[in-house]
Chain A
């Protein structure tokens, strides 16, 4: 796929603090990219910079190989993009006027505007709100209008800066479903910043992880899930068990790490003395009421006591104190079969191959 947007040596500095430092980044046409990271990681600044709304301190941005600012004016570039923020930012006018706004900026023919807005109202199921004033809309309705206002422009690139953050879960779900359909159908190159892993996983082809203005990991869902680059990514993708340990020995091509006086067998090449973060997904933790150590391949088995059981509807989240806390997800059937309750003594464990190890800097 062709690169629609490429940045080189992008550098944004605000009062001597480095906000963005990206040597190289290329985004393919028609793909959906999510930018994830903690607060202050630089997600919004990167979105604003890529959208041509914030002048970088240094660096070049290329749109279809044309350098923005020299080969392509910023004004023309902005005519090819659209942006949606967390706040809806609607003007104090009707829904129709709000959706038509960008088209009017582009001096389009009134009949064409009418036609395009009508179509967008239908797609987003808000035709009945056409003449309603923006300030009378609910949060979900206003969000639909702000997204429709961006998509009606048929932008080459759509920037979404945490657009679903303030929505209730029902509205969010409905809007995301509709958006996925439109974005995939129209093959709109989309760049989304988000805190929500489900949003990132559902929408994206590519995930970019940012920390302190730098891209620390870039890859598809599978890469990120299997090989999280740091504890933030691990926790973001749902590895609820992140154990801090130190390598004390090498064994059978793997290593043994000490975590709170317990020894864990892990796979990978680490040197004695290395500090590591061991990430285990909660669905890879098993619980038993009997000792099975001799009969199973699981290398890491611990005795523990159930501290907490939370019902999540489809599954239960159980916290087991083994000297360190382990979190396991298990089904209701398993809970019933084992008659698990808070305070029960259990055997818990996980395979060495279930551990994803990250070097602790």
Chain B
């Protein structure tokens, strides 16, 4: 992972009091967090874990983002719609979306089109873990996010979610 220049800039790890500076700083933090998880293909954040990871702790310059600082950044991500708390009361873990469900939906749908798989039934496993989808960006996508992506397609009448008994899947149109 390539770190942005701010990562080696000590004041970056302290939330700045000046509102203009803070705005820029938060923007940089948001994109850093999203890029970091995109690189790792990770879809969730554990607050304590991330606080001790290299993301929030740059050992080389001996700077660490405080818990309050992290919450400020995460709340900002929440505001932009890239993050959701699993439990808003405890705020221990959250879901992170470095691509919005719409973007995921479009990615999946263009893949379906390229394979002429419209009018075909697919299982969720096939989409995110199948041999066919290996190498696509949504390979390994978590189910909650996949469901949301497909729901955006459903709203556009490009797909329909099938759920009955213990079967679940999607039909593309």
User: Do A and B associate with each other?
Assistant: no
B interface vs A, CB < 8 Å?
none
